[in-house]
Chains A and B, each alone.
Chain A
Amino acid sequence: MADMQHIPNAKMSAQGVNVFYGDKQAIKDVSIEVDLENVTALIGPSGCGKSTFLRTLNRMNDTVAGARVEGRITLDGDDIYGSDMDVVQLRARVGMVFQKPNPFPKSIYENVAYGPRIHGLAHGKADLDEIVEKALRRAGLWDEVKDRLHESGTALSGGQQQRLCIGRAIAVEPEVILMDEPCSALDPIATARIEELILDLRGNYAIAIVTHNMQQAARVSQRTAFFHLGRLVEQGPTTEIFTNPREERTKDYITGRYG
């Protein structure tokens, strides 16, 4: 294991996490921290476990039959796998954006309003309208959709759909946002918009992003963790990882010798 580089007051912290799917171990002894000031990028070749790891942070792996998580993951110091942690509330506090844009087949407004509504965050229609507008503005989508809030969210372009999904996640006021290859289904222009958005959101939310795209990791993240075969090979400030990696494997990967 490379250096721990402990971050004081990290929003989320994972210590010695192992994940098993049945008998197969997908994640081996990973320790990592996610904080407000830095966007954390998780990089690595396909099948290295970075997405699996991301999904342990909001317990989305609970829905997979046979998945088992060992180790300690905390949000503000509370164990998220502890008995007093409510998984529904956890997922409201730790939002997620998925690889493929997955808006609900409802109107744009309903997509964003759904989260606040089920968590009782809005008091009345005007309040809900305001929450929706704020979330869509933060997601950089408001100007494009303000005149057609009641059209279907699935009628938007791929990039707009993904920003809608980010808006939907923001609307419940999460503390952490997990992004699982949010740009892999988008064209370069839409990707650029999402990247700008991530930079805007930094500081307000602790962000962890899984990406296949090394340039993207370099552009949007301040900290980078390199995964390989279920292990965390190296983590540290992004500039350091990209310019002066300590591990040979990291160097080979970021220079494009394999992936």
Chain B
Amino acid sequence: MTGQAALTPQGSAPATEPRTAAPTDWRSDAMRRRIARRYAAERRFKVLGLAAVLLSAGFLAFLLVTMVGNGARGFTRTQIALPIDFQRSAMLIDPALLKGDTAEQALAGANLPAVIDTAADKAFGEGGARMISPAAQAAVRKAILADPAILNGTATITVPASEGVDLAAKGDGSAADETAVARLKQAGALSTGLNLRFLTASDGTDPTLVGIWGALKGSLLTMAVTLALSFPVGVFAALYLEEYAPRNRWTDLIEVSINNLAAVPSIIFGLLGLAIFLNLMHMPRSAPLVGGLTLALMTMPVIVISGRNAIKAVPPSIRDAALGIGASPVQVVFHHVLPLALPGILTGTIIGMARALGETAPLLMIGMRAFVASPPHGVMDPASVLPVQIFLWSDEVGRGFIEKTSAAIIVLLAFLLTMNSIAIYLRNKFEKKW
């Protein structure tokens, strides 16, 4: 449009010519067929969608039912009421030492395993010792500490049954163990209780001894390291790239690299962690610190990508408003853009963290498949993590480990669910109503 030439006086537009074509027949056969096809397409779409939803729901239900069905037994244990005659046992202990700090030490040297084996053989006949789990020691020790007076006579202490008896009592044992269970039932010594040890102990050699706490704590520490590193780095990288970085070939290259990084198979991150953190920086093997750092490398690109999308989604009018009253670019970012983008960033973070929590391969590369029988006390201690623990137990020969594996999966899923719930809570908290 240039100058006067473009000015068209109003009212001089050509009048619309009268229509000469026949009016549309909305009731013709062709029309009806078109309508029928439209309705059919809509029905097909609905049915397909519903089928997809039902299929996923079915898989989920199958997974949950199998896991809970198998795993629930991992949280219970078969117990045997074992009468022990401390007076006539081969117990070597000075009752005076049972007070204060020396108690644990005194009991450790008191030859408890022999005492228990003798008592079991005496109570349930030949082979009685094999019905009792090695975990019985801890139960007896606890009972003595709680009431040292029982040492003066006979006491009946409830102790965990051995792997074989436990399986047989749960209806999945060998013929020999079935007889043992029958014998114990006859003696009225059998009961079922909650397996608290599973929630408080670490890995072990006997399925009645093992617990998930060591792996759970290892996962917690690893996730803490991952979050502490990947969240700030990811968010700052996203903010810089979206708000400050000039658009040029270098930033394009960085963007492509980050997108590619998010798609790199996790085992490669494990090799990277092995090469850098263990071989180059000589950090301890199997440590949550190294695991966390390795997983952070993997999680960071996910946070950067989701963060950039969330930042992009903040309406420009809010930036204008803040700049317009003299907010500096940093104030615009931290007072307005970041709070508004936070729900989106958190969603991305939780997706990344959930993936990291379930990751096994890279952790195997940095030595986290070691047998660790005590929970880690810090990020430098050797530790296991939940998915690796599940992997290790699923590889065990002992049949008692099957239910432990399922129980560990339940714990992992519960952990995941808790993490997601916290993220959803935080997201809803920060979400602004417009």
Q: Do A and B bind each other?
A: yes
Chain A residues with CB under 8 Å of chain B are 58, 60, 63, 65, 88-93, 95-96, 98, 100, 102-105, 114-115, 118-119, 152, 154-155, 165, 168-169, 171-172, 229, 248-249, 252, 256-258
List B residues 285-328 near A (Cβ within 8 Å).
Answer: 315, 317-328
Query: Which residues of chain B are within 8 angstroms of A252 by Cβ–Cβ distance?
Result: 4, 7
State whether A115 and B321 are in contact (beta carbons under 8 Å apart), knowing that A257-B10, A258-B7, A258-B8 are contacts in the complex. no
Q: How far is the CA of A165 from the CA of B317 in the complex (A)?
A: 12
- Verify A102–B7 contact, CB threshold 8 A: no
Name the residue of chain B whose CB is nearest to the CB of A66: B247
- Verify B326–A115 contact, CB threshold 8 A: yes
Query: Which residues of chain A are within 8 angstroms of B331 by Cβ–Cβ distance?
Result: 118
Given A63-B319, A169-B325, 11 other A-B contacts at CB below 8 A?
A: A65-B247, A92-B325, A98-B320, A102-B321, A114-B322, A119-B326, A168-B321, A229-B1, A248-B4, A252-B7, A258-B6
Query: Which residues of chain B are within 8 angstroms of A257 by Cβ–Cβ distance?
Result: 7, 9-10
How many A-B contacts at CB < 8 Å in the complex? 87
Q: How far is the CA of A118 from the CA of B328 in the complex (A)?
A: 9
B377 within 8 Å of A by Cβ?
Answer: no
Shortest distance from the beta carbon of A11 to any chain B beta carbon, whole Å: 17
Query: Which residues of chain A are within 8 angstroms of B247 by Cβ–Cβ distance?
Result: 65
- Verify A118–B327 contact, CB threshold 8 A: yes
Shortest distance from the beta carbon of A201 to any chain B beta carbon, whole Å: 16
Mark interface residues in B323-357 (1 if CB within 8 Å of A CB, else 0).
11111100100011000100000000000000000
- Verify B326–A88 contact, CB threshold 8 A: yes
Contact of A95 among B318, B325, B328 (CB under 8 A): B325
Name the residue of chain B whose CB is nearest to the CB of A47: B1
Name the residue of chain A whose CB is nearest to the CB of B8: A258
Query: Which residues of chain A are within 8 angstroms of B4 by Cβ–Cβ distance?
Result: 248-249, 252
Shortest distance from the beta carbon of B264 to any chain A beta carbon, whole Å: 32
Shortest distance from the beta carbon of A148 to any chain B beta carbon, whole Å: 15
Shortest distance from the beta carbon of B310 to any chain A beta carbon, whole Å: 15
What are 26 sample pairs from A and B whose C-beta atoms fall under 8 A apart?
Answer: A60-B320, A60-B323, A60-B324, A63-B319, A63-B320, A65-B247, A92-B325, A93-B326, A96-B320, A96-B324, A98-B320, A102-B315, A105-B318, A105-B432, A114-B322, A115-B325, A154-B432, A168-B321, A172-B325, A172-B326, A248-B4, A249-B4, A249-B7, A256-B10, A257-B10, A258-B7
Q: How far is the CA of A102 from the CA of B319 in the complex (A)?
A: 10
Q: How far is the CA of A167 from the CA of B7 in the complex (A)?
A: 40
